[in-house]
Amino acid sequence: MDLESLYQDIILDHYKHPRGRGLLEHPLGSAFHVNPTCGDEITMQVARDADGGLELGYDGQGCSISQASASVLVELLEGGTVEHSEAVRLAFVALMHAQGAGEPDEEVLGDAIAFAGVAKFPARVKCALLAWMALQDAEIQAGLLTTGEQP
């Protein structure tokens, strides 16, 4: 098996050097998600920054995929709008469910396209999605998102 297709350099880099890790002082919404099979944990938090953009914080423990995914998420969405976060989130979820056959849109997904290879490993898809599911819950809790539709 091609281990490199799973563990792209970007993933390993985010795993070793997580961006924006840490919890917020005054979160508007906070969600703790766990992967019951392997115990990976993520707490994801949202608030508004001074300009009305998204402020994100997180903490967690788990495998490289779950932790790098959270780091990439924060890098991509911090400071942006809720609408943007929702668009990226939906694109990421779609990529993860494409079983390796998806054509990721680099425009939308940025570094997150590095996770395309994960979709071929069903047991790891949940790891990659953990932070993104927690984000959705945190935004709902903060009143930033109203629909709780699971794609």
Partner 1 sequence: MLDVAAIKADFPILDSTVRGGQPLVYLDSGATSQKPRAVLDAERSYYEHTNAAVHRGAHALAEAATDAYEAARSVIAGFVGARPDALVFTKNATESLNLVAYACSNATALAREDAGAIDPRLVLGPGDSIVITEMEHHANLVPWQEVCRKTGATLRWLPLTDEGRLDLSGLDTLIDDSTKVVSVVHQSNILGTINPVRRIMDRAHEVGAIGVVDACQSVPHMPVDVHELGADLVAWSGHKMLGPTGIGCLWGTPDILAAMPPFLTGGSMIEMVTMERSTFAPAPQKFEAGTPMVAQAVGLAAGVRYLEALGMSAVAEHEHALATYTLDALAALPGVRIIGPQSTIDRGSAISFVVDGLHPHDVGQVLDSRGVAVRVGHHCAWPTCRRLNVPATTRISPYIYNDTDDIDAAVAGIVAAQRFFGVA
Q: Which residues bind partner 1 (CB under 8 A)?
A: 1-3, 6-7, 12, 34, 36-41, 61-65, 121-124, 127
Q: By C-alpha distance, which of 151, 2, 131, 134 is closest to 67?
A: 131
Query: Do residues 111 and 119 touch, judged by C-beta distance below 8 A?
Result: no
Instruction: Indicate the residue among 15 and 24 with the shorter CB distance to partner 1.
Output: 15
φ, ψ dihedrals at 26, nearest 5°: -130, 70
Query: Do the bridges between strand 41-48 and strand 54-61 make them parallel or antiparallel, or are there none, so unpaired?
Result: antiparallel
| Choice between 34 and 108, CB closer to partner 1 | 34
Measured from the CB of residue 105, what is the shortest distance to partner 1 in angstroms? 27
Q: What is the nearest approach in angstroms of partner 1 to the Cβ of residue 75? A: 21
**Residue whose entry in the numeric block shows the structure tokens 């979709």:** 119
Q: Between residues 62 and 104, which has the closer beta carbon with respect to partner 1?
A: 62
